[in-house]
Amino acid sequence: MSGVRAAARTGLRRTAPAAERAWSADPYADALHAGRGPLFLRRADGWLLPLDVERWCAEADAADLEVLRRCEGTVLDVGCGPGRLVAALGARGHRALGIDVSEAAVAHTVGRGGQALLRSVFDPLPGTGRWGTALLVDGNIGIGGDPAALLRRLAQLLAPGGLLIAETSLHPDVDERVLVQITDANGTPGTPFPWARVGTPALLRHAATTGWHPTDQWSTSERTFVSLRRE
């Protein structure tokens, strides 16, 4: 990973796929700059999923620290957002890299002293096949709208026996793939892009078909997690 340190500190740019540019545009970038919402993912039927911008922009909380305690080796934070986990990992001596398709998110991560690249998880990435741990928190199991494809991609990125820690939906029966838009309190729509939500049972089903086996499950009052090991 040492070969990418200089680029990571400056947030080396690589153009994000068109559908993911929504995360680099208003209103998401404005919310990160302000450090607060309200901000939502909106389905076509009008249903809104609140996005916890304040928590993302704060320091790592107790639930986050439990995730970080379980990390092994070098850590890739997929969809790192404004970088609270990358910064906390660095403070604990882990070599960590965040990737995100949002320029604002990468800038926040670098500003916190973390290393981050403007990349999609499906782009070419440094350290492919050598990462010790990958993180999918804050709903990022939804990236790309296809959890099985995302799990297959992460299997390529991790070293043999590598660890994946994923946050799942609090609603265990959820298993949906939809088009969503990022929107703010004014209802300003962003570019539609594919997203997924899965509860723990659904994630375990996807894991079983993509070469992963579960190693642990745990929850807090408001968040649920699964750790998977690459076979």
Query: How much is the mean pLDDT over the chain?
Result: 90
Taking CA atoms, 87 is separated from 9, 91, 113, 126, 201, in Å, by 12, 6, 6, 19, 31
Structure token pair of residue 115: 């290393």
Specify burial of residue 186 (Cβ count, 10 A radius: 0-12, 13-18, 19+).
exposed
CA dihedral for 184, 188, 194, 196, sign (positive or negative): positive
CA dihedral for 134, 139, 143, 145, sign (positive or negative): positive
CATH code of residue 6: 3.40.50.150
Separation of alpha carbons 33 and 128, rounded Å: 31
What is the DSSP secondary structure assignment for residue 112, as one 8-state letter?
A: T
Separation of alpha carbons 145 and 142, rounded Å: 5
Structure token pair of residue 31: 């919310």
pLDDT digits (tens, 9 = 90+) for 150-184: 999 999 999 999 999 999 999 999 999 999 999 99
Q: How confident is the model at residue 122 (pLDDT cuts 50, 70, 90)?
A: very high
Average pLDDT over residues 90-113: 96
The domain total for the chain is 1
Phi, psi of 58 (to 5 degrees): -85, -175
What size, in residues, is the chain?
231
Q: Which domain holds residue 19?
A: 2-230
pLDDT digits (tens, 9 = 90+) for 54-78: 999 999 999 999 999 999 999 999 9
Structure token pair of residue 162: 């590598």
The β-bridge partners of 224 are: 168, 219
Q: Is the pTM of this model over 0.75?
A: yes
Q: Which of 69, 62, 92, 97 lies closest to 227, judged by CA?
A: 69
